[in-house]
Amino acid sequence: MIQPGQTIPAATLSELTKDGMVNHTTSELFANKKVVLFAVPGAFTPTCSEAHLPGFVTLADQIKAKGVDMIACIAVNDAFVMQAWGEAQNASEISMLADGNASFTKALGLEMDTGEFGGIRSQRYSMVIDNGVVTQLNVEPPNQFEASSAGTLLASL
């Protein structure tokens, strides 16, 4: 599993924007900026939709006021699902990134196999990335939600 002090691995993540599909490299996404990245096991799932993403939507301005340039949400879903979920959650301040084949999640060592539920998904976590280097990592134990919440992350900035 990636650790604080390590560089984010090279990968490509997708985002459906008003201008169409954009494929971002992690080196481009995280270079020369401070980014809060949080991951969810799946878009439109209960805890993700009722607490995790809404917390970052609500606290986005306060998080950015702490010197954060970008807040991004990632899931092992496609970019169309991520974009629709972001719209449904009024997440205009959050970059909704898709890791469709889980390659980024696997490179981080943060994948989990949910079996018949959905196969390979991301563990729930939040991290702070400063110029491509992880400075903080908060990974949730299974079936819990606290360490990776927006409130916990904001308090640590």
Domain of residue 49, CATH code: 3.40.30.10
Contact (CB, 8 A) for 131 and 32: yes
CA-closest candidate to residue 73, choices 112, 44, 106: 44
The pLDDT value given to residue 94 = 98
Number of structural domains in the chain: 1
More confident of the two residues 117 and 34: 34
- Residue 117: its pLDDT value, please? 82
Per the annotation, the verdict on 73 as an active-site residue is no
What is d(CA 104, CA 122) in angstroms, rounded to the nearest whole number? Answer: 10
Is residue 132 one of the residues assigned to a domain? yes
Q: Identify whether 3 is part of a domain.
A: no
Out of 35, 39, 48, 57, pick the active-site residue: 48
pTM: 0.96
pLDDT for the residue 88 = 97
Nearest-5° Cα angle at 33, 19 to 38: 75
Indicate whether 42 belongs to any domain: yes
Q: What is the pLDDT of residues 116-139, one digit of tens each?
A: 888 999 999 999 999 999 999 999
pLDDT at 151 exceeding the cut of 90: yes
What is the distance, to the nearest Å, from the Cα of residue 8 to the centroid of all Cα atoms in its chain? 13
